């Protein structure tokens, strides 16, 4: 069973429908499926050409926009708002669009499609298939823009912490960097798909629809450029963090070396005089311990003076 089926008239008024019913003239039908639906292959065999049908059921997808005969194969990605995965594990929307039919297939729940379904249930929907594509694209790219903007704020916070010489959690830095890289993986092809979509011939999209799609293309370009910038900025933050960690380790090692240089001769002497064998000098003298302590003090002062003379500290 499809998730939903609606017939939509040229005024954008929508009505729930069933698949056996024919589409009335001037209307278009939106059929929304889950990829795991057992009835999906049979529906595609009856209503969708082979190549678009294969694109709708492919195990893996990347964003694309290709004209096929009188229809449009369109794959887009959106931010994952489900609880079963991180936002950068973007959800896919697969579409086949003609003048009288819009088929959408999801693998995970897509909240932008869910919002459009609720609007259609209330009787309101885009008045044309390309208008449907434009509305969906606007919703998807709006969430993408907000997510990239939120990631940019987090990177700004990291850079401020770096400038103020505050600690930067290494796990947060690594996770944000991975998130930017994974977003860039999908949004690069999505930018190209949106560019191809906005460049469709005038007989497929109107001037107003073209302007809307070009605006979403511009958002895609900005998102990709921002992600490229964020990856470079986080690389700089990572390099600074690595350099600061190495500097602190070197400083700690240097301090330990100084301490060892001071106490090494003292430890040698005390170890030598601590040997429990006959013949040790001063074992019967009351002043021997004081003399040994004074010698150690003098030796410590001498070692410190030599280290400063050699400009170690």
The 10s digit of each residue's pLDDT in 156-196 is 988 888 877 776 776 788 888 899 999 999 999 999 999 99
Instruction: Specify the pLDDT at position 27.
Output: 93
Torsion of CA 29, 106, 51, 88, to 10 degrees: 130
pLDDT at 279: 66
pTM for this prediction: 0.78
pLDDT the model gives residue 249? 86
| Topology (CATH level 3) of domain 4-244 | Beta Polymerase; domain 2 (3.30.460)
- Cα 136 to Cα 9, 61, 111, 189: the distances in Å are 18, 18, 10, 17
User: How many CB atoms are located within 10 Å of the residue 300 CB?
Assistant: 14
Beta bridge partners, 71, equal 68
pLDDT of residue 313: 55
- In the sheet with 71-78, reading across from the earlier edge strand, the strands are 14-16, 4-8, 28-34, 101-106, 91-97, 71-78, 64-68
pLDDT the model gives residue 113 = 94
What single-letter DSSP state applies at residue 22? P
Question: How far from the centroid of its chain's Cα atoms is residue 267's Cα?
Answer: 55
Euclidean distance between CA atoms 121 and 13, whole angstroms: 10
The answer to whether 179 touches 86, Cβ cutoff 8 Å, is: yes
Can you list the residues of the chain whose pLDDT is less than 70? 167, 170, 272, 276-280, 282-284, 310-313
First to last CA, the chain: 78
Q: Are 205 and 145 in contact (CB under 8 A)?
A: no
**Predicted pLDDT at 301:** 81
d(CA 16, CA 184) in angstroms, rounded, equals 38
**SS3 at position 282:** coil
Helix or strand holding residue 101 (H, E): strand 101-106
* pLDDT the model gives residue 261: 76
94 Cβ contact list (under 8 Å, min separation 6): 35, 55, 56, 58, 61, 74, 75, 104, 105, 106
């Amino acid at each position: 069973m499809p998730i939903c089926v609606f017939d939509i008239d040229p005024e954008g008024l929508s009505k729930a429908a069933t698949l056996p019913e024919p589409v009335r003239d001037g209307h278009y039908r939106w059929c929304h499926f889950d990829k795991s639906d057992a009835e999906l292959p049979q529906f595609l065999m009856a209503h969708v050409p082979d190549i678009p049908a294969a694109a709708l059921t492919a195990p893996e997808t990347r964003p694309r926009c290709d004209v096929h005969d009188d229809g449009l194969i369109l794959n887009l990605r959106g931010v994952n708002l489900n609880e079963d995965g991180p936002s950068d594990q973007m959800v896919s929307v697969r579409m086949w669009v003609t003048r009288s039919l819009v088929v959408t297939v999801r693998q995970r729940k897509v909240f932008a499609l869910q919002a459009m379904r609720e609007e259609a249930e209330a009787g309101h929907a885009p008045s044309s298939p390309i208008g449907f594509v434009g509305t969906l694209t606007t919703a998807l790219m709006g969430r993408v823009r907000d997510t990239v903007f939120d990631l940019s704020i987090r990177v700004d916070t990291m850079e401020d912490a770096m400038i103020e010489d505050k600690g930067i959690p290494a796990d947060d830095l690594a996770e944000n960097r991975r998130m930017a890289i994974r977003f860039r993986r999908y949004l690069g092809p999505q930018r190209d798909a949106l560019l191809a979509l906005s460049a469709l011939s005038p007989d497929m999209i109107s001037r107003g629809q073209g302007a809307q799609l070009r605006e979403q293309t511009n958002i895609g370009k900005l998102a990709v450029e921002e992600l490229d910038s964020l990856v470079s900025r986080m690389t700089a933050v990572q390099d600074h963090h690595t350099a600061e960690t190495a500097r602190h380790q070197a400083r700690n090692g240097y301090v330990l070396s100084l301490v060892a240089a001071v106490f090494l001769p003292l430890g040698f002497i005390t170890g030598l005089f601590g040997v429990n064998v006959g013949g040790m000098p001063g074992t019967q003298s009351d002043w021997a311990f004081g003399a040994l302590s004074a010698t150690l003090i003098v030796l410590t002062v001498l070692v410190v003076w030599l280290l400063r003379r050699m400009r170690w500290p």
